Amino acid sequence: MIKTDALIIGAGPTGLFTAHQLKLIGLDCEVVDNLDKIGGQCIELYPDKPIYDIPAIPECTGEELTNGLTDQLKPFNIKFHLNERVEEVKNNNGKWEIKTNKGTSFNTPNIIIAGGVGSFEPRKFAPKDCEKFEDKSIFYSIKDKTIFKDKTVSIFGGGDSALDWAIELSENSKINLIHRRDEFRGAQSTVDKMNDLRKEGKIKLYTKYQLKGVKDSESLESIDIEHDNKEVKNLKTDFVLGFFGLIMKLGPIANWGLNLNKKKINVDTEKFETNQKGIYAVGDICNYPGKLKLILSGFHEGALAARACFKLARPNEKYRFEFTTTSTNLLKRLGKKE
């Protein structure tokens, strides 16, 4: 069981700056995120898109913003638990006990939920009967590519993941690549390579088709794909891969006894505390009158929630407001003074 002053759920911009604020005022914190990397929506949804409304930064991309925030955390030693999703939150004698899907557990007086719109999960195929083959013959990510050797693999999607896997697996497998339109959004060089392999007969390409259904007896045998003009084709296949990007799901947060409003968590605007003492919500996931879904609002909310954490983490001390420009304490924590 890891003991910490505050646990932050979500390593997006708001979670990162909240961690900075906690460490600055002398509290420990650890961060959990379901993604395999730091940055949240900024890195997952728009790493290359420019952002123009971060104060004092006229223009930066989602990736640059993430890098800047990560650099700002360098003076501090913060443990990140990536690829982990918080599943369970329980109160035990006024402290919160938290368990992740990987079995990591925490004990803390403060939880700050900076979870955006929930955790990222792969988008799945629409036909309902795909579910029973999930992780058997239908996959949304690849852990062991050797299972596809000498098999027929039908890959759906039009981005880099679909194209890269079609190219890579075509060495040892028969590949059907299926996409809902003629244009691909992957890198041009990758599209060109896929087209070369198609001409060599190593990839069979079906555009303007989507998955209509699966056919099986014991195991998956074939799939039906439907053209825009309603024509249906049946393809024999051993495996099906879908690469439709990620979707945000609120997930287990819905089970923690919080006061939810649609997919948002209601908070006050003094501490950004939820209806549960010691659980705060900041950034896109919180809701209050006048809430703006701006990154800068998340920074403000995180700064205030961090101060609120102080009271529960250090009940016998008094929090004193200080500036980084002048406070010896803060400058020491930032490594700027001995």
Partner 1 sequence: MTKIVYIEHNGKSHSIDVQNGLTVMEGAVQNNVPGIDADCGGSMACATCHVYVKEEWFNKLPKKEDGEEDMLDMAFEPKKFSRLSCQLTVTDELDGLTVQLPSEQA
Q: What is the binding site for partner 1 (CB under 8 A)?
A: 41, 45-46, 49, 117, 123, 126, 157-159, 179-181, 183, 185, 210, 228, 244-245, 247-249, 263, 284, 293
Angle formed at CA 265 by CA 259 and CA 268, multiple of 5 degrees: 85
Question: Cβ closer to partner 1: 26 or 122?
Answer: 122
| Angle of helix 188-199 versus helix 160-169 axis, rounded to 10 | 40
Question: Cβ closer to partner 1: 207 or 327?
Answer: 207
Task: Report the DSSP beta bridge partners of residue 265.
Answer: 260, 286
Question: Cβ closer to partner 1: 142 or 250?
Answer: 250
Between the alpha carbon of residue 33 and those of residues 10, 141, 156, the distances in Å are: 5, 18, 27
Which residue type is seen at 324? T
In whole angstroms, the minimum distance from the beta carbon of 253 to partner 1 comes to: 14
Question: Cβ closer to partner 1: 39 or 158?
Answer: 158
In whole angstroms, the minimum distance from the beta carbon of 247 to partner 1 comes to: 4
Question: Cβ closer to partner 1: 215 or 291?
Answer: 291
Compute the 3-state secondary structure of the chain and give helix, strand, coil in percent, each to the nearest 5: 30, 30, 40
In whole angstroms, the minimum distance from the beta carbon of 113 to partner 1 comes to: 16
Task: Report the DSSP beta bridge partners of residue 154.
Answer: 176, 240
Question: Cβ closer to partner 1: 109 or 298?
Answer: 298
In whole angstroms, the minimum distance from the beta carbon of 262 to partner 1 comes to: 9
Please give the Cα distance from 177 to 182 (Å, whole number): 12
Please give the Cα distance from 121 to 35 (Å, whole number): 9
Query: In whole angstroms, how large is the CA radius of gyration of the chain?
Result: 24
In whole angstroms, the minimum distance from the beta carbon of 75 to partner 1 comes to: 32
In whole angstroms, the minimum distance from the beta carbon of 246 to partner 1 comes to: 8
